[in-house]
Amino acid sequence: MKKSLLLFLVITCISIFAQEKKNATTEFKVTGLLKKELIISLHDLEKYPAQNITDLPITNHLGEARYTAKKLKGILLKDLLKDLKIDEDSPKKLSEFYFVFTAIDNYKVVFSWNEIFNSATGDHLYVITEKDGTKIKDMDERILIVTTSDFKTGRRHIKALSNIDVKRVQ
Ligand SMILES: Nc1nc2c(c(=O)[nH]1)N[C@H]1C(S)=C(S)[C@@H](COP(=O)(O)O)O[C@H]1N2
Ligand SMILES: [Mo]
């Protein structure tokens, strides 16, 4: 009896460690100045068709080459946030809003409403669902955001996204 309990505990521990991805997230929240907040999980991401993205050299904040992210697939963030209802009825005023992306380690990146929904940047801002043949649930960096049109791609290559906070300039 004691032996089987020990065996059970050992197996449980091993499987928990095997599943845990250090510094990875399984969902992100969209919070702030909204009519309704959202939670987007890995399961939700699986429902969207993913596009192929060309291989992306990741350069650090100084512009030095780090590595190339290969065989990427992703969903445009603007498609995911299509039904987001910002708490502002005047379309003109949407230009005052910005989105603060925060990762699990508190790394933060800002995008303006216009960048995402009214510029070419929004056509290159992806949630990555597959990288080098590895599906999102097995990716160490999940939930990963990239902006493929950036000059220094490392800066807005956000690993382990946990929150997008919608704010308004004062
Ligand atoms: N969550 C998180 N994402 C991050 C960072 C970070 O510190 N935390 N660093 C950024 C920076 S400064 C760079 S250059 C790129 C590439 O870093 P990597 O080689 O560590 O992936 O990731 C970016 N994404
Ligand atoms: Mo960096």
Over residues 112-123, the pLDDT tens digits come to 999 999 999 999
Total residues belonging to the chain: 170
Spatial distance between the Cα atoms of 54 and 41, rounded to a whole number of angstroms: 25
Residues 122-139 have pLDDT tens digits of 999 999 999 999 999 999
Residues 18-39 have pLDDT tens digits of 555 678 999 999 999 999 999 9
Tell me if 14 is assigned to some domain: no
Tell me if 9 is assigned to some domain: no
Residues 46-91 have pLDDT tens digits of 999 999 999 999 999 999 999 999 999 999 999 999 999 999 999 9
Q: Specify the residue with its C-alpha closest to ligand 1, atom 19.
A: 66
Measured in angstroms, how far is the CA atom of residue 119 from the centroid of ligand 1?
Answer: 24
Q: Find how far residue 119's CA is from the centre of its chain.
A: 19
22 lines ligand 1 (CB under 6 A): no
State the CB neighbour count (10 A cutoff) for residue 30.
18
Tell me if 11 is assigned to some domain: no
Spatial distance between the Cα atoms of 119 and 147, rounded to a whole number of angstroms: 13
Tell me if 2 is assigned to some domain: no
Distances (CA, A) of 116 to 73, 129, 146: 19, 19, 13
Tell me if 16 is assigned to some domain: no
Number of domains observed in the structure of the chain: 1
CATH number of the domain within which 50 lies: 3.90.420.10
Q: Specify the residue with its C-alpha closest to ligand 1, atom 13.
A: 154
Q: Which ligand is nearest to the CA of 107?
A: 1
Q: Specify the residue with its C-alpha closest to ligand 1, atom 8.
A: 107
Spatial distance between the Cα atoms of 130 and 28, rounded to a whole number of angstroms: 17
Residues 1-12 have pLDDT tens digits of 566 655 555 545
Tell me if 10 is assigned to some domain: no
Tell me if 129 is assigned to some domain: yes
Domain span including residue 141? 23-168
Q: Judge residue 130's burial from the number of C-beta atoms within 10 Å of its C-beta, 0-12 exposed, 13-18 middle, 19 or more buried.
A: middle
| Ramachandran quadrant class, 140 (left: phi over 0; alpha: psi -120 to 50; beta: rest) | alpha
State the CB neighbour count (10 A cutoff) for residue 53.
19
Tell me if 72 is assigned to some domain: yes
